[in-house]
Amino acid sequence: MLTETVASVPTPHGDVVFRGDLTGRPVVLLIGGVFEGERAYCRLAEYLPGVDAIVAHLPGNHCPPLADWKISTWGAAFDVAAKAHFGAARFIVGGISTGALVALSMTGHAGVVLSDPPLRPHRAWPLHRLRDEGPDDRWPLISSVFGIYRNRIEPRNYAPLLRKLSSPAIALVGGDALGEPRSFEFMPSLVDPRSLDDLRLHPGLDIRIVPDVGHGIPLRAGRALVDALNDMARRVLL
């Protein structure tokens, strides 16, 4: 089980909090999504042999917020924090949902694993219900990052972040496609067709469609995430 070792790393944008032990091995950093529980991924280290597993929450979720609610700011902060905390250790970064957008904003990694990244959240119609259901303490994030406000939706396009991606990458996309608005028990993929095309056009990106699951890949198809992290670690770290 992931230990309760918690490091708060100062950056010019505010403190970034990492959970997990460093032993001098290469590092897998996993950045969670918007509504992750505090102990999410607490057993990650058990499934990643040969590396140090570090977990981080999004700013403002079980850790302090940063200077603003921009993905670019978060990526810059995580870059500074990773360099300071990991030292000379090479690392890959995995991102879950919104955490995947942060991972795409970073530059210091040797590889990336993305889990159902909502590159155009305004097109991801399941998120629109946050106008009615969004918890009050998350509204700065929901409005700034997703462009979802109580009375309107503004376009957000994170696909240009793919242009910064020069290291090897794996993108997991839920096989339960976004499609047209409908009722659902489990949220479908939040990758809209245009964003899926953007992912497919990137020359260094391996797309893996995860069957019978939508956005919740870590919860409902955790083996796919673990396999992708291990595959990337073996490819560029070990």
* One-letter-per-residue 3-state SS of 25-55: CCEEEEECCCCCCCCCCCCHHHHCCCCEEEE
Task: Find the helix or strand (DSSP H, E) in which 232 lies.
Answer: helix 222-236
Q: Which tokens belong to 232?
A: 């990337």
Asked if the model's pLDDT at residue 4 lies above 90, the reply is: no
User: Which CATH number do you get for residue 151?
Assistant: 3.40.50.1820
Q: How far apart are CA 207 and CA 114, in angstroms?
A: 9
**What per-residue confidence (pLDDT) applies to 32?**
97
- What number is the average pLDDT over the span 136-157? 86
Helices (H), 52-113: 71-86, 98-105
Q: How far apart are CA 4 and CA 44, in angstroms?
A: 13
Residue 116 lies in a domain: yes
Residue 77 lies in a domain: yes
Whole-number mean pLDDT of the chain?
94
| pTM of the model as a whole | 0.96
Q: How big is the chain by its Cα radius of gyration, in Å?
A: 17
Q: How far apart are CA 44 and CA 22, in angstroms?
A: 14
**What per-residue confidence (pLDDT) applies to 133?**
67
Per cent of the chain over pLDDT 70 is 96
**What per-residue confidence (pLDDT) applies to 132?**
72
Q: How far apart are CA 46 and CA 124, in angstroms?
A: 33
Per cent of the chain over pLDDT 90 is 85
Domain count, the chain: 1
> For 137, how many CA atoms within 13 A lie in the half-sphere containing its CB?
9
Asked if the model's pLDDT at residue 105 lies above 70, the reply is: yes
**What per-residue confidence (pLDDT) applies to 140?**
84
CA dist 218 → 12, 37, 102, 226 (Å):
31, 13, 17, 9
- What number is the average pLDDT over the span 111-138? 87
- What number is the average pLDDT over the span 68-96? 97
pLDDT confidence bin for 129, thresholds 50/70/90:
confident
Is the Cβ–Cβ distance between 113 and 228 less than 8 Å?
yes
Residue 1 lies in a domain: no
Residue 46 lies in a domain: yes
Residue 115 lies in a domain: yes
Residue 39 lies in a domain: yes
First to last CA, the chain: 22
Residue 130 lies in a domain: yes
pLDDT confidence bin for 149, thresholds 50/70/90:
confident
**What per-residue confidence (pLDDT) applies to 136?**
66
β-pairing, 112-115 vs 27-31, is unpaired
Residue 42 lies in a domain: yes
Q: Which domain holds residue 177?
A: 6-236
**What per-residue confidence (pLDDT) applies to 135?**
61
- What number is the average pLDDT over the span 1-19? 88
